[in-house]
């Protein structure tokens, strides 16, 4: 058989695989894909935490905070509050405070009041939600979009929801 003419002359005829060979390749591809998917899923779970908890959008959190239905806590750092402001209706409590849980409990209006957490992009609030729930502090609600937006949506700032300028009081550094 003569080699093909033109631009295809450098291509050789590909060897044929036996059915057993194709099964081996297919199994290998499937097992590699399953392994990669499992590793990715575990990484997301341990980075962001489980997603089975309650969530609110920023607009829903704003409405609930205005109605007094939730204790709305901004858990970011003071530098972040200064940069973007604090969501209107939120109480700024630095996550790093030694007395964080005590401060949240003291700020709660009643013992069954839901606590909604917001951070910059939803990662810290998801982790803290899991920790507080495991510690028996419920109900906890996450705002996964955060202030700056995330995979869950555009976030508080981009939606144009109101913010309050933060003023330094000195108490937020109680760590």
Percent residues over pLDDT 70 in the chain: 66
- Assess whether pLDDT exceeds 50 at residue 164: yes
What rounded mean pLDDT belongs to the chain?
A: 79
Which whole-number Å values give the CA distances from 154 to 32, 111, 143, 151, 164, in the listed order?
34, 32, 12, 8, 19
**Rounded Cα–Cα distance for residues 87 and 147 (Å):** 8
- pTM recorded for the entire structure: 0.67
Query: Are 73 and 90 a contacting pair, CB within 8 Å?
Result: yes
Average pLDDT rounded to a whole number, residues 131-143: 87
Q: Residues 6 or more apart from 83 whose CB is under 8 A from it?
A: none
pLDDT of residue 15: 56
């Amino acid at each position: 058989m003569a080699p093909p003419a033109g631009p295809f002359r450098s291509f050789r005829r590909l060897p044929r695989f036996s059915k057993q060979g194709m099964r081996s390749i297919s199994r290998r591809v499937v097992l590699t894909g399953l392994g990669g998917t499992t590793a990715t899923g575990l990484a997301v779970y341990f980075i962001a935490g489980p997603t089975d908890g309650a969530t609110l959008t920023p607009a829903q959190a704003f409405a609930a905070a205005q109605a007094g239905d939730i204790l709305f806590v901004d858990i970011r750092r003071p530098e972040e509050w200064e940069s973007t402001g604090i969501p209107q209706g939120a109480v700024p409590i630095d996550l790093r405070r030694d007395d964080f849980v005590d401060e949240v409990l003291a700020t709660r209006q009643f013992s069954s009041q839901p606590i909604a957490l917001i951070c910059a992009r939803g990662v810290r609030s998801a982790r803290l939600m899991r920790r507080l729930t495991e510690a028996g502090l419920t109900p906890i609600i996450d705002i996964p979009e955060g202030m700056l937006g995330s995979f869950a949506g555009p976030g508080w700032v981009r939606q144009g929801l109101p913010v309050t300028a933060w003023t330094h009081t000195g108490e937020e550094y109680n760590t």
